[in-house]
Amino acid sequence: AGSTAPVGSRPAAGCLSPPLHLHRPCVRMEGAGAAPAGARQAEDAEQTGAVEPALDANEDAILQELLGSPVATPAAALAPSSPAGAEAAGAVAAVEPGAEEEDFDLPEPTTPLPPQVELDRFCVTARWSLKCRLDLKKIVFGIRNAEYNPRRSQTLVLRLLKPRITFTIVRSGLVNVVNAPVTPEQARLAAAKVTRMIQKCGHPEAVCSGLVIRSQQAMASLPFPVRLEDLAEKWQRHVLYEPEVTSTAFFFLKKPRCTIGVTSGGKLAFRGFAHPGEAREALRRAYPVFLEFNR
């Protein structure tokens, strides 16, 4: 009677239940459309009443109401043509009153931009607040393509199909979008859709507040390789190149305010611009410089 059974052995006949460490329940909470596939996915969605990411056409007025406030942009990415950008440009001019404009900006390009060289992809990083506390368990059972595993992370992941954006939502109501391949206007509309879906999942007080486009990125490809060493030697005031640290050279422009990452294979990455038009203008002005150092 005083003997102790080894760990992992079968319980004795008089034992009411096995040890707790041998039978731990494993609960996995996923969205309504994540478990089944094919026809079973549609049937389960109808039974659970999952909310589709795409909204009905009669909710356009609600989306416009949610998008009442304009999208904010970082202060460092303000366009010089805007009033706020003009003030920022004036502040820079006040710091260096004797600086020549030609010392900081590129000359007007004389070589036209080929039609095959264009911006092919945009990525946006944004965030906003829903201004309320969220029940993530209720949301994950009410929205299709939502995932939430509290044992792994306290963040809910929501994926939209049109447009393709992945959102991360926390219990405090903060929503983040990281490197979504959309334009700022598409990200703004997607934010209103997500807010409307969360309202339908038992949070009618949720609002789309403080939408901020934190950063934008655009990609382009040159039809020729670039000699980065010679580029950095001639344009020392515009280029930062440390081959021991990274294989990318960073080309800085003042007008428009933009940073271009250049690789030896001719791949370009544009960052720091306020809107897509500035990225296209930066490509037009920098293309003759890169063409000069064609291998």
Work out the pLDDT band at 37, boundaries 50, 70, 90. Answer: very low
Q: Cα(62)–Cα(58) distance, rounded to whole angstroms?
A: 9
Q: 124-215 falls under which CATH superfamily?
A: TATA-Binding Protein (3.30.310.10)
Instruction: Please report, to the nearest 10 degrees, the dihedral formed by the alpha carbons of residues 108, 113, 117, 123 taken in order.
Output: 40
Q: Which residues contact 232 (CB under 8 A, 6 or more apart)?
A: 239, 240, 241, 249
Q: Is the pLDDT confidence value at 69 over 60?
A: no
**Is residue 191 very low, low, confident or very high in pLDDT (cuts 50, 70, 90)?**
very high
The ranges assigned to domains in the chain are 124-215, 222-293
Distance CA 113, CA 291 (A): 10
User: pLDDT, tens digit, for every residue of 222-262?
Assistant: 999 999 999 999 999 999 999 999 999 999 998 889 999 99
d(CA 211, CA 188) in angstroms, rounded, equals 8
Q: Tokens 């009410």, residue? A: 142
Of residues 4 and 126, more confidence is placed in 126
Q: Among 62-71, 175-184, 190-199, 276-285, which is the least confidently predicted range?
A: 62-71
Please report which confidence band the pLDDT of residue 136 belongs to, taking 50, 70 and 90 as the band edges.
very high
| Average pLDDT for the chain | 76
**Residue 182: pLDDT over 80:** yes
Is it true that 124-215 and 222-293 share their CATH fold? yes
Backbone angles phi, psi at 167, to 5 degrees: -110, 145
Tokens of 187: 């990200």
Identify the band that residue 47 occupies on the pLDDT scale cut at 50, 70 and 90.
very low
pLDDT-derived band at 56, boundaries 50, 70, 90: low
Superfamily of domain 222-293: TATA-Binding Protein (3.30.310.10)
Considering the entire predicted model, what is its pTM?
A: 0.59
